[in-house]
Structure 1
Amino acid sequence: MTVMAEPMSQLTVEQFEKIADFTAKESDDAVRLEFINGRIGEKRVPDGDHGEIMSWLQERCMQVGAGMWLFGEQGLKLASYRKGRARPDGSLAPRGTFAGQGEWANPDGVLMTVEVTSYDSDSDSDTDKRDREEKPLAYADAGIPVYLLIDRDDSTVTVHSDPHPDGGSRGYRDVHKVAFGAEVVLPDPVGITLDTEVLKNYVR
């Protein structure tokens, strides 16, 4: 889940990386920052249910094939010319994909990104806007084949797939949303089916 800051149109990605690095070193709460569409966002520290969901999904993703792993919180370079920075809750990729790349890696080789929304007590905040609206565009622009959003606010799972090709419209061409409890297909190159009944255990 992310908290939006005021637009900072003059901020470069290099300046953002310095801010993110300083914040990570100085914050007692392990604040994690993102930079999408020229705006800084703060990712909330995940709760226990969030962790349970990611563990469950990791087990399911092991069906994709040997050597595949759901990497947690790996920073990715996104958007045109890699001028965006995001920290998906999970990135499904072959082991070794991020070796030697440091905190912010190229998304090449990532089959799927995953976001699990966190709860926001501030009804006036747009902390989840990025997960629901901005990240589908950013992940599609980066050519990531599948984006999985597990939304605990409305108990739904949304699968975004088939990103528009370079130069075309933005976003994913196929978006499929189901309520917790239904089965949902994660299309190729992931190629597995999720039974989302268990997710009912992790909502308030």
Structure 2
Amino acid sequence: MTEETPKVSTLAIAHHHHELPDTPFNLWMRDELTDVLDLPHDGTRVEIIGGEIIVSPGPDYGHNAVVRGIQQRFFAAELTDPSFPWRCITTQDVKLSDIKDGYIPDLCVLSVENDKRARSAQLKKLPVQGLELTVEVTSPSTVHDDREPRRGFSGLTKWNGYARVGIPYYLLVDRDPQETRTTLFTDPDTADGKYLSSVSWAFGEAVKLPEPFGLEIPTDEWEPWQRT
């Protein structure tokens, strides 16, 4: 039994971007891209990564459980300490206007002040300027779009995009059975679109988010995805 259906590039659906009624980014910003591509409204994710339209199925339960575990640590810190300055939200559309990309991170972390502003404005597309940390958990269909580009991969990934727009912290949980590691990328180089520093932990080791978060996240129950 497969975990999920393969990712589909909509280049194959739309043939060429110039046949769309507007740019992919503009359509995505207006929430029209799904309908233009005649995609189902069933949890299918549509993102613009490196200027390319990427369609991927919704994640499996193991993926969502990892996200829940991270989110719980932020909730616990908030409940324990009323002055805890961070809030998190899942599957929020994030607009990277400077590079015309649009992502749906598995988890976003932003300050209390920026959280209040976003709620008051009832934002549908969150600007990157208010984000301190983004989290991505890999699935078979998204792994190459979430990681730092590797040899043989010619496109740009979210790793490049997050660095290009200056997200200070990018946490990547890689559930690939050959990896099973969590990596925190820091020191974004906005000019080159890459992170200059990183630290990683194997599954089973506690992830230690440094200040300004100061959180420890257990990973004992995290599991790799099942190979077919």
Cα distance in 2 between the residues matched to 1:145 and 1:119: 26
1:159 offset after TM fit, Å?
1.0
Letter in 1 for 2:106: D
Contact 1:183-1:194 at 8 Å conserved across structures: yes
Q: List per-residue Cα deviations over 1:34-53 (Å, max 9, x = no partner).
A: 01221001132122222221
1:111 offset after TM fit, Å?
1.3
Contact 1:74-1:88 at 8 Å conserved across structures: yes
Other-structure match for 2:89: 71
Other-structure match for 2:162: 139
Cα distance in 1 between the residues matched to 2:219 and 2:73: 11
Structure 1 pair 113–3 and aligned structure 2 pair: CA distance change class (3 A): farther
Is 1:58 matched up with 2:58? no
Structure 1 pair 163–50 and aligned structure 2 pair: CA distance change class (3 A): same
Other-structure match for 2:108: 91
Contact 2:43-2:58 at 8 Å conserved across structures: yes
1:169 offset after TM fit, Å?
2.8
Structure 1 pair 191–143 and aligned structure 2 pair: CA distance change class (3 A): farther
Contact 1:35-1:84 at 8 Å conserved across structures: yes
2:11 to 6, 10, 27: 6
2:132 to 111, 121, 126: 111
Counterpart secondary structure, 1:71: strand
Cα distance in 1 between the residues matched to 2:129 and 2:122: 12
Letter in 2 for 1:130: D
Q: List per-residue Cα deviations over 1:160-182 (Å, max 9, x = no partner).
A: 11112x4x432111122221012
2:52 to 39, 44, 62: 39
- For structure 2, the residue ranges without an aligned partner over 5 or more in a row are 1-5, 149-156
Other-structure match for 1:124: none
Q: List per-residue Cα deviations over 1:66-111 (Å, max 9, x = no partner).
A: 35322111111116x2511000011011332423253222112211
Cα distance in 1 between the residues matched to 2:58 and 2:37: 12
Letter in 2 for 1:15: L
1:194 offset after TM fit, Å?
2.5
| Higher gyration radius (CA) | 2
1:135 offset after TM fit, Å?
0.8
Letter in 1 for 2:175: R
Letter in 2 for 1:76: V
TM-score (norm 2): 0.72
Other-structure match for 2:207: 184
1:26 offset after TM fit, Å?
6.1
Cα distance in 1 between the residues matched to 2:73 and 2:36: 34
Cα distance in 1 between the residues matched to 2:184 and 2:91: 19
- For structure 1, the residue ranges without an aligned partner over 5 or more in a row are 121-126
Cα distance in 2 between the residues matched to 1:22 and 1:136: 28
Other-structure match for 1:151: 174
TM-score (norm 1): 0.80
The two structures, once aligned, show a CA RMSD in angstroms of 2.8
How high is the sequence identity, in percent, across the aligned residues? 28
